[in-house]
Structure 1
Amino acid sequence: MLSISKWGAVAATALSLATVAGPASASSDPYPLDRGRDKYTEVISLTSTGTGTTVVDNGTPGPGVGDQIIITANLYRRGLSYGTEGAVCTRVAAQTTHCTGTFSLPRGQVTWQHLQTTPIGTPPSDFDLAVTGGTGAYATARGYGHVARISESGGAFTLYLVH
């Protein structure tokens, strides 16, 4: 097993996502609600606190292609518990990581993925991720999420889901 740097746990948790505390409104949202034919955009702002991080050293010993970071986190909305998250990030090139994850929320699950170019040992800056599907109330969801900040205690993110 490989030891993980402080940023690795933080970035992995944040990559798995988090959000901005407080409700989002259409007036402050740079991406206004789309109330087209039988569809709408739901904005979900969350914060996360990591509950576990495991690094698996695959391939050549030491940091490199094939290594994985497995992340679990608790999710909060407006300061209240709102679900959990699980994610796996795999180093696919010297400076590129591919992450996939699932948010388990009260009304169903939302799945996502993300490809990030970040040198080993360097925390990523703000970025977007693709919403790839879901279950329950999110069964027809598509859209994206924006990770707005990363800190040692967790992260902040906003999901923009079109149903």
Structure 2
Amino acid sequence: MRPIRAACLATTTALVTLLTCAPVAATATDTDSAHAKGKARVITLIGRLAQQTRFPVNPGGAPAQGDRTVFRSVLFDENDNEVGETGGTCTTTRVDNGGAEVCVVTYTLPGGQLEVQGMLFGILTGGLPTIPPPPFDNGITGGTGEFDRARGSVHAETIAPGTRRFTIDLKH
């Protein structure tokens, strides 16, 4: 079984590569409003994998270019309160040299949505999924509501099986 690559997040997979669930305390930091022009905002959330479906090019065979993973994770704040979800798709673009995927992910949060996309590298070790999945950074390409015209990045790291910490660095 290959790990989800996104979230990422699932989240995306993630994001992706967002795995089997295990409870972990959430950390959240939310400073200022991203909607005010020229402001920066950092949000830290914990994502727990809720659903994941894989669509391999070679079912039961080796990883291949074009393999796809679809995922959804539930997002939690510093008090372990559910605050949203993330969902997306990741597609394998390379299986040699550690493998790579391209992911497109939506983070649904109070006040709007964030759109994120980017590459994940090092998803395969010796032709098998890398466990735990490697950390990644993806770019924020836009959003809705209070995240309208948002830019910045999302850093994701696996902190337990099925659990990722997402640090969202918003620039507006």
| TM-score between both structures, scaled by the size of structure 1 | 0.79
> Structure 1 or 2: larger helix share?
1
Equivalent runs, 1:1-163 vs 2, <5 Å: 4-5=1-2, 8-9=3-4, 13-14=10-11, 15-17=13-15, 21-24=26-29, 38-58=37-57, 60-61=58-59, 62=61, 63-78=63-78, 79-94=80-95, 95-118=99-122, 119=124, 120-123=128-131, 124-163=133-172
Under a length normalisation based on structure 2, what TM-score does the superposition of the two structures give? 0.75
Alignment: residue pair count: 149
Unpaired runs of at least 5, structure 2: 19-23
Which string of whole-angstrom CA distances, capped at 9 and with x for unpartnered residues, describes residues 75-97 of structure 1?
Answer: 11111111011110100111111
The one-character-per-residue Cα deviations of 1:87-141 (angstroms, maximum 9, x if unpaired) are 1010011111111100011100001112122224114322211111111110110
Aligned partner of 2:21 in structure 1 is none
* Alpha-carbon distance in structure 1 between the residues aligned to 2:157 and 2:38: 26
Root-mean-square deviation (CA, aligned residues, Å) is: 2.7
| Cα offset, 1:9, TM superposition | 4.0
Query: Hey, what's the Cα distance between the residues in 2 that align with 1:75 and 1:65?
Result: 30
One-letter amino acid of the counterpart of residue 152, structure 1: P
Calculate percent identity across the aligned residue pairs: 29
